Amino acid sequence: MDIDGVYRAEYGRCVATLVRLLGDISLAEEAVQDAFAVALEKWDTLPPNPGAWIVTTARNRAIDRLRRESTREARHAQALLLHQPDEPQEVGPVQDDQLRLIFTCCHPALAPDARTALTLRLLGGLEVPEIARAYLMPEATIAQRIVRAKKKIRDTGIPYRVPGAEELPDRLPPVLTVLYLMFNEGYAATSGSLIRTDLCAEAIRLARELAALMPDEPEVVGLLALLLLTEARRPARTGPAGELVLLPDQDRSLWNRALIAEGHDLVRRCLRRNRPGPYQIQAAINAVHTDGPATDWQQVLALYDQLQALAPTPVVALNRAVAVAEVHGPGLALAALEHLQLPGYHLLPATRADLLVRLGRMQEAAAAYDEAIALAGNETERAFLQDRRAGLTP
């Protein structure tokens, strides 16, 4: 591993530990960046424990910096540092710190958009321009979101701790949502741009850490399984020209077997625990899709029924209709879509178009494809829909 690799792997952990040592997020970021700058100068070969080296150096740098400054934050932080005299000189990153930081970043008192940006910045170590590119947003907007969120954390006294068991039901879902959205943002970008693929990798890395830190929370394990089983199919999801390939047409030999095995194993662990939740059920659906030579749609439909009972959202109803079409035919599926409201979501008219084609109602299908094409968010999906539209025979 080189220093870039260390940065990727250790940045979030080091910031998390420094936030605890300094009691302030911005000071922690500066200290860790200082330490990496020193590392760039000093490291000919990697030290035996790079993370511990960075934390120790960052801490010493912070003490130097604080001695020179006389602001209130500086005095506060210095007091915190000086009150930990018993700690050994060499302090490595502590795993619990990362957990504390992720709960702080995903606190429900912060705006949902800010939670993701802050998590990517602090735990993923992504720079503002990288986050802006990933979300196709102006850099100034992302920077402002992050600054505002850090200010609110400081001003309102959002605590730096892992919530207690009685708070977890309220506090864990926003953390899982952030990781899920982060992954989807990367996955929806089929253009293959490296940065956006990084979002998937980062979401999986953080989900892995979270699952390692909270192995008894089945929804955490369920989310990790869902991400792994979705990621596993990525290589088959686009063809040689970058075009979208749907599940039934995918070359299954391209799927990542190791990720699938890991995902299936996690789904089995969830089943044994028998405390189902929306992420676990979605993981189970993806386990069925990736099991054997073809999807067992009966099983998928049964799982969607279960998911709809737990989370009756329009998107779940739409996905369930796809399974209904496979089990009971396109007519019933189309009826299930009839009263669905998903304004602006291209997959609703796209699904309706597909069902209409299968029912031989080509004119209506063409109109539905037009509607979907107008709403599609990225080139790959638009090209796919245009291709389908062009292939209609009256």
Partner 1 sequence: MKQYMLAVHMVEGAPTPSAEEMQQAYSQVDKVNKELQAAGAWVFGGGLLPADSATVVRADSSGTTMTDGPFAETKEQLGGFWVLRCQDLDEALSWAAKCSAACMGPVEVRPFEDEPES
DSSP assignment string, 246-298 = -GGGS-GGGS-HHHHHHHHHHHHHHHHHT---HHHHHHHHHHHHTSSSS--HH
Toward partner 1, which CB reaches closer, 118 or 158? 158
Q: Burial, 308: exposed, middle or buried (Cβ in 10 Å; 0-12, 13-18, 19+)?
A: middle
In the block, tokens 């001695």 appear at: 67
Cβ(80)–Cβ(21) under 8 Å?
yes
Near partner 1 by CB under 8 A: residue from 112, 159, 192, 377: 159
Toward partner 1, which CB reaches closer, 167 or 251? 167
Toward partner 1, which CB reaches closer, 157 or 293? 157
Q: Does 163 bind partner 1 (CB under 8 A)?
A: yes
Task: Quote the least distance from Cβ 156 to partner 1, whole Å.
Answer: 5
Q: Does 193 bind partner 1 (CB under 8 A)?
A: no
Cβ(91)–Cβ(62) under 8 Å?
no
CB burial of 30-42 (b: ≥16 within 10 Å; e: otherwise) equals bbbbbbbebbeee
Q: Name the one range near partner 1 by CB under 8 A: 87-95, 157-165, 305-313, 354-362.
A: 157-165
Toward partner 1, which CB reaches closer, 152 or 252? 152
Near partner 1 by CB under 8 A: residue from 48, 109, 240, 249: 109
Q: Name the one range near partner 1 by CB under 8 A: 142-150, 159-167, 291-299, 383-391.
A: 159-167
Task: Quote the least distance from Cβ 114 to partner 1, whole Å.
Answer: 15
Toward partner 1, which CB reaches closer, 107 or 196? 107
User: What three-state secondary structure class fits 228?
Assistant: helix
The tokens describing 146, both together, are 């992050």
Q: Does 157 bind partner 1 (CB under 8 A)?
A: yes
The tokens describing 307, both together, are 């998911």
CB burial of 347-383 (b: ≥16 within 10 Å; e: otherwise) equals bbbbbbbbbbbebebeeebbbbbebbbebbeeebbbb
DSSP assignment string, 98-125 = HHHHHHHHT-TTS-HHHHHHHHHHHTS-
Near partner 1 by CB under 8 A: residue from 14, 25, 146, 158: 158
What is residue 110's DSSP assignment?
A: S
Q: Name the one range near partner 1 by CB under 8 A: 36-44, 139-147, 149-157, 297-305.
A: 149-157
User: What three-state secondary structure class fits 244?
Assistant: strand
From the centroid of its chain, how far is CA 222? 13
Q: Does 226 bind partner 1 (CB under 8 A)?
A: no
Q: Which of residues 230-259 bind partner 1 (CB under 8 A)?
A: none
With vertex at residue 184, the alpha carbon angle to CA 130 and CA 158, rounded to the nearest 5 degrees, is 70
Task: Quote the least distance from Cβ 362 to partner 1, whole Å.
Answer: 52
Task: Quote the least distance from Cβ 303 to partner 1, whole Å.
Answer: 34
The mark string for 13-52 relative to partner 1 (x by CB under 8 A, - otherwise) is ----------------------------------------
Q: Does 84 bind partner 1 (CB under 8 A)?
A: no
Tell me the number of residues near partner 1 by CB under 8 A.
10
The tokens describing 209, both together, are 């850490």
Near partner 1 by CB under 8 A: residue from 167, 251, 305, 379: 167
Near partner 1 by CB under 8 A: residue from 3, 42, 87, 156: 156
Q: Which residues bind partner 1 (CB under 8 A)?
A: 72, 107, 109, 155-159, 163, 167
